[in-house]
Amino acid sequence: MKLQRLDLIFSYWIFAWYLLYKTKITTYSPKFIIILGIIENMILLFFMIQNGSTIETIIKFIVINIFIKILPYYSIRNDKIIQKDIIASIVLFIIYIIWLYINKETLLQKYNKIYNSLIENKNDTPGMIIMNFILKQIKQS
């Protein structure tokens, strides 16, 4: 199993931005891009269910996204989405696409790898690896 790199998954870029925002290192709110991420994850969840991902993979996917998208959204839910935040979201996404290109990936290739990992229950994304480690520690204690 080839593990997927954290820096090549856009959800973690969004979460890093959220942490920078909450620590006041940046004033650009990630609320807009978090909402888009939640919508994308709901669509992905539908496809996971439709294509036979295991209940274990589905639950892990939901728990991970609660921590990296739902809770962050909840903590900034009262922020107003303003033009500079939308522009910052677009700029970050463009930088991400450039980063993929530098690393010899395309957006479609990366999305397909994540999609296939979830559909085929490979659990090779960073969030799934962390979740599996935590569950293993809980079982051993």
Calpha distance 46→7 (Å, rounded)? 25
Q: What residues does each domain of the chain span?
A: 6-140
Give dist(CA 14, CA 85) in Å, integer: 12
| Distance, CA of 133 to CA of 115 (rounded, Å) | 21
DSSP structural state of residue 70? I
Per-residue pLDDT of the chain (141 residues), as tens digits, is 567 788 999 999 999 999 999 999 999 999 999 999 999 999 999 999 999 899 999 999 999 999 999 999 999 999 999 999 999 999 999 999 999 999 999 999 988 888 888 888 887 888 888 888 888 888 887
pTM for this entry? 0.89
Q: Write the DSSP symbol of residue 81.
A: P
Inter-residue contact 21 to 75 (CB < 8 Å): no
Contact 87, 28 (CB under 8 A): no
